[in-house]
Amino acid sequence: MAGSPRKIRVVGDPVLHARCRPVSSFDAELGALIDDMFASMAIAEGVGLAAPQVGVDLAAFVYDCIDAAGERHIGHLINPTIETSGEPEEHDEGCLSVPGPYHELARAPLATVRGVDRTGAPIEVTGTGFFARCLQHETDHLRGVLYIDHLPRNRRRRVLREMEPFDWNAPTQ
């Protein structure tokens, strides 16, 4: 893989709790960011990763995720907007920026995301099941929202207490 892993930011880091800026330069620096995000997601064994999770406040995320039919989807989206439909379904959800615990959360079973790719070309991605959940989770990251922000306050506190550092997340940059 072309990129190299970057340190993954953990809940409490301001970059995770603010709205990201839209990408306007589709240059080599953006390409390097996307490559590094893929490398970071792979080493952390994540199914999705948003730019603020590696400390960059740009509206971009990557994914490597299985849908409701068992099909694997790998890709990236920049400046996304999302539409969801269907009766929300409860499933366990976790986040590399809240390392350790998982918690049930209701998400729509179908999501369509429209944005552009690293060259600026328009793309549209539709996901079902766990992939739909992933698309909602990553789009949330870009507006400064973590999955635990959807939980009642006492549940959120419990998840935060259960957090534990991961080996792959070395304290060095």
- If one asks whether residue 8 binds Ni ion (CB under 5 A), the answer comes out as no
Minimum CB distance to Ni ion smaller for 29 or for 45: 45
Residue 93: CB minimum distance to Ni ion, A: 9
Residue 81 — φ and ψ, nearest 5°? -120, 155
Distance separating alpha carbons of residues 155 and 105, to the nearest angstrom: 11
Of the ranges 12-20, 90-98, 102-110, 148-156, which one interacts with Ni ion (CB under 5 A)? 90-98
Judge whether 107 and 21 are in contact, CB under 8 Å. no
- Rg of the chain over Cα atoms, rounded to whole angstroms, equals 15
Tokens 């789009």 appear where? 139
- Residues 135-168, buried b or exposed e (16+ Cβ, 10 A)? bbbbbbbbebbbbbebbeeeebeebeeebeeeee
Nearer to Ni ion, 26 or 145 (CB): 145
Which region, judged by CB under 5 A, interacts with Ni ion, from 14-22, 32-40, 73-81, 95-103?
95-103
Q: Of 20, 95, 111, 148, which one interacts with Ni ion (CB under 5 A)?
A: 95
- According to the binding rule CB under 5 A, does residue 37 interact with Ni ion? no
Residues 129-168 binding Ni ion (CB under 5 A) are none
Is 124 one of the annotated active-site residues of the chain?
no
Residues that bind Ni ion (CB under 5 A): 95
